A and B are shown apart, each in its own frame.
Chain A
Amino acid sequence: MDKFLTFTIVGLSLAAIYAVIASGLVLTYTTTGIFTFAHGAAGMLAAFAYWQLRFDWGWPVPVCLVVILGMMAPLFGMLLEVVVMRGLRGTTDTVKLVVSISLLLFMIGLAQLIWAPGVSRPMSKFFASSPTIHLGPTTITWHQAITIGVAIVVGIALRFGLTRFRVGLAMRAAVDDPSLSALNGARPNRVSMVAWALGTVLAAIGGILIAPNVTLDAPSLSLLIVSAYAAAIFGRLRSLPLTLLGAIVVGLTDGYLTGYLPQNQYLIGLRIASPAVLLFLVLLVLPNPRLRGRMTRSREFFPMPSVRGALTFAGVVVLGGVVLMTTLSTPDQLTYGRIFPIGIVALSLVPLVGFGGQISLCQLSFAGIGGLVMAHLGHGGDPLALVWAVLIAAAVGALIALPALRLSGIYLALGTAAFATILDRWIFTLPKFAVFGWFTVDLFTQGSIGVDPLRAFGTKFDDPGSQIVIGAVAFALVSLFVIAIRRGRLGRRLIAMKDSEAACATLGMNLLGTKLLVFAISAGVAGLGGALYATQLTTIQAGNFDLVSSLQVFALAVVGGIGAVGGALFAGISLYAVLPLIGVLFPSIVQWVGLLPGATGIGLGRDPNGAVHPMREGFAPLAGSPSSLLVMALALAALYGLRLADAIDNWTFVIGLFVIPLIATAVATLSAATRQRVLAQLESSPDRTPLEWIGIDRPWTDADVERLDRELGTTSVLASELELHGTP
């Protein structure tokens, strides 16, 4: 009984924290319609700030609390609203998701910039030195008591604020009917600013309360929020009382698992993953949403890729791989080589998200499965293991898709995020286990597992250079595959489905089958990327395939342009070429690099067509000018020759690689423009006739007279009038 009470209290104090955080989430979501993945990160930043003020600088507790909860958190919330959230009204779910995920990444980057990771930052609990309170047969620490007390106070204060203050009423009114609220005269911007400020304060309270129980680590603290998300889902992101109930369920589950879970190495991870498991389960029992037409019209424009363009793209990618192999030193090859396997993982998102409009935040988990298959079945570099990697990842993808299919938008995002969490916190940490006595599986043997390099055609590809080329070839082939999907039946079906599921269903399309197929294809492609990634890494661990990495790839692929293969390459290049390059070029700002993926996502995530689209438009004139194209190819080949002969170094080479295509494009654009102008001149030549020639080669018109008057500054007498009256 004592034990039961003890763990009830443990569970309730967790529940209290989740309730506080989740109510902030519900508040911002209902009043502004934006579900923010960065909510937990706000709590994380507050926890770090509290550590800084309280434990590093030794300020007194009340001062710290006033500064953080009274000033920093609300200001930060308002800043978020003004800078980021306000611009998201009326955008699609995907855009909102990408921006809030980018915000999460940015805030993690910010925390790691200010507070270097890997340093131990202990935080003591509130009144840690005071004796525990005796409560009948059990005891409760002051920290637990305060946590529960704070949650109760927050609950009462929220209730009070939402019923007694006019702005609180306006927040609830906005949930009922935002436009009617405006008709009453409530300013929506102000209301949502208050909502974000309040939401951020709630996240901050939760962050400060939870931090002493766990290690102060930016990514894990930010994602601890999955637990709060689970609580909020109980209330379908709308109801505060049900959210409270959800928080209690999630908290108590965690508490009782801590107390009663058999001391079994297989189940340790289950406790850590339990909120994600609950989140997944709750998503599954939510009532089936009705099929609806589109809510927000997107302004996407994904042109149909041409066969020639596809082949050119694939060729350039392979050439790029060869160039990287021949010009880079081995350590550099190790860094830049990841462009392609991660690029393939990003490619896996193109049919799924770009064409089909489904969302998945667990592509790296599928990649992890591919990597594991490679490690276990690819002994001696058996290429057949790649096939297995694809098939097994695809099978798992389909399995996951099956329950996830009835979800869409934000719920699908949360479901896949929960799956990623379950995998990386529990499944990937499992020790050796037997599957129905058939065979034993030992996923990540000692936390990490070695992967043999590929062997094919009697050659062992164990050097990073040849692995780059293999990656590039694989990327090129998968790109062609994805383009073939786009050009074929499946692609059109997916695009149709993305535009209107209601229309597809009423035309007789099997939506479930189509979604299942695209999920399986996507997971298979991600599995291939993961397998190749694993051979490059040579040893892999669960951490290579975690949720945060998935989020990064997702955000950057969308920023690059999720509807085209170029967007995937953009994601790979951004992560494994641009970021390291910036670090090398500008060592002074190397620590800022961590902010970049998030910052680009926040800045560019709003253009549904992605960053690659305008780039391709910019280079379009090249295609129409064979001469420029030829000269460019020759110049690039010469440059490459010079580099191979060591006549120039890599820097000159890279600069040349950028400058030559730009010059060629500029020349092509100019010549096209000149041609156009000449044509235009020919067409409008009458107007260009010199003044003295007017009326000589053809009869006078009224327009000619007007022009003459205009240019000579005389008063107008029209030609027609001249004829009428004879003499002026």
Chain B
Amino acid sequence: MALLEVSGVTVRFGGNVALDDVEFAAEPGLVTGLIGPNGAGKTTLFNVITGLLPPSHGQVRLDGRSLTRLSPTKRARLGMARTFQRLELFSLLSVRENIWVAADVRKGWSHDRDDPATVVERIVEQVGLTAVADARVDSLPTGQCRLVELGRCLATKPKVLLLDEPASGQDENETVVFAELLRALAADGMAVVLVEHDVHLVMKVCAQVHVLDFGRIIASGTPSEIQHDEAVLSAYLGTNS
């Protein structure tokens, strides 16, 4: 049984179907990619998984437990963490404080004995933000902001990490470092789900890739299978088959 299971998820806005019977799963220790053209429903799917948007139908399961009726907060406490495509940082706080809030929240409800301050220092180093740890996040370039969001997620000790376009705004060098970081996180046993426009990155780090188009999963497979899938090619390139 997969750690994260999404089954039959459908979302309708008015008459439009944003997600149509989506099935997919993420395994611990692996990076699972989710790609697809604009408006395919990737962020909507993340909203459903994290509980920000109730689906019209379908189930989200974590470790076999149904999350469908749980609030975002409860889901987070069960081990779900995500970043945001549009960056939802605490802009008035420093990098350290951003991560500290997450660590402190975890300390508040869990039985962890870890001192938030220690957790924060470890994470700041892990994501490579030591040099700017005391800078206010709204003074940082986008690439580093993405890392702050990632660090914040890590402070909650997630089992499932949902990353929404974490590499956009990063330059090529940053992306290389980031790919290493992703692999390391997966190696630690997290199930990482990656929504990303940078297809090179996806192909490089993902074990499994799902392609979303018009709210439906049109293909699933290894990166090389996806690259030669007819349905994917036609979704991306519009070749009328």
Chain A interface residues toward B at CB < 8 A: 290-291, 293-294, 297, 300-302, 489, 492-493, 495-496, 498-500, 502-511
Contact = CB atoms under 8 A, between A and B. Distances in A.
B107 to A, nearest CB: 9
Nearest to B94: A304
A505 B104 contact: no
Interface string B71-105: 11101110011101010111111000110111011
Contacts of B72: 291, 502, 505-506
Interface in B20-78: 50-53, 71-73, 75-77
Contacts of B109: 508, 510
A587 B240 CA distance: 83
B89 A506 contact: no
Interface string B100-125: 11101110110000000000000000
A507 B102 contact: yes
Contacts of B90: 492, 495-496, 499-500, 503
A500 B88 contact: yes
A493 B105 contact: yes
B92 A509 contact: no
A510 to B, nearest CB: 6
B87 to A, nearest CB: 9
A489 B107 CA distance: 11
B76 A508 contact: yes
B216 interface: no
Given A290-B53, A300-B92, A492 B101 contact: yes
B152 interface: yes
A496 B94 CA distance: 11
A663 B32 CA distance: 65
Q: Which of B53, B91, B156 has the most A CB atoms < 10 Å from its CB?
A: B91
28 contacts: A290-B52, A291-B52, A291-B72, A293-B88, A294-B88, A492-B104, A495-B93, A499-B88, A499-B89, A499-B90, A499-B93, A500-B88, A500-B89, A502-B52, A502-B72, A502-B88, A504-B101, A504-B105, A505-B51, A505-B72, A507-B152, A508-B76, A508-B77, A508-B156, A509-B105, A510-B73, A510-B108, A511-B73
Contacts, number: 89
Given A489-B104, A493-B104, A506 B92 contact: no
Interface residues of B, number: 35
B42 to A, nearest CB: 16
Q: Which 9 A-B pairs have the closest CB atoms?
A: A508-B76, A505-B72, A503-B88, A500-B88, A496-B90, A499-B90, A508-B77, A496-B101, A293-B88
B86 to A, nearest CB: 6
Given A302-B92, A500-B88, 10 more contacts: A293-B84, A492-B97, A492-B101, A496-B93, A496-B98, A503-B84, A505-B52, A505-B76, A507-B105, A509-B101
Contacts of B104: 489, 492-493
A511 B153 CA distance: 17
A493 B101 contact: yes
B175 to A, nearest CB: 23
A396 B88 CA distance: 33
A504 B156 CA distance: 11
Interface string B200-237: 00000000000000000000000000000000000000
A499 B81 contact: no
B73 A509 contact: yes
A507 B108 CA distance: 12
Interface of B: 50-53, 71-73, 75-77, 80-82, 84, 86, 88-93, 97-98, 100-102, 104-106, 108-109, 152-153, 155-156
Contact of B80 (A492, A506, A510): A506
Contact of B92 (A489, A495, A510): A495
Contacts of A293: 84, 86, 88
A488 to B, nearest CB: 10
B91 A506 contact: no
A506 B52 contact: yes
B100 A492 contact: yes
Contacts of B80: 506
Nearest to A302: B92
A352 to B, nearest CB: 16
Contacts of B88: 293-294, 499-500, 502-503
A492 B93 contact: yes
A508 B153 CA distance: 10
A202 B66 CA distance: 52
B105 A297 contact: no
A508 B106 contact: yes
Contacts of A495: 90, 92-93
A301 B139 CA distance: 12
B89 A503 contact: yes
Contacts of B91: 297, 499
Nearest to A292: B52
A72 to B, nearest CB: 43
Nearest to B50: A506
Contacts of A493: 101, 104-105
Contacts of B108: 510
Contacts of A502: 52, 72, 84, 88
Contacts of A511: 73
Contacts of B105: 493, 504, 507-509
Contacts of B93: 492, 495-496, 499
Nearest to B138: A297
Contacts of A489: 104
Given A297-B91, A302-B92, A499-B91, A507 B84 contact: no
A503 B91 CA distance: 12
Nearest to B80: A506
Contacts of A294: 88
A567 to B, nearest CB: 16
B94 to A, nearest CB: 9
A290 B82 CA distance: 17
Q: Which of B80, B89, B92, B102 has the most A CB atoms < 10 Å from its CB?
A: B92
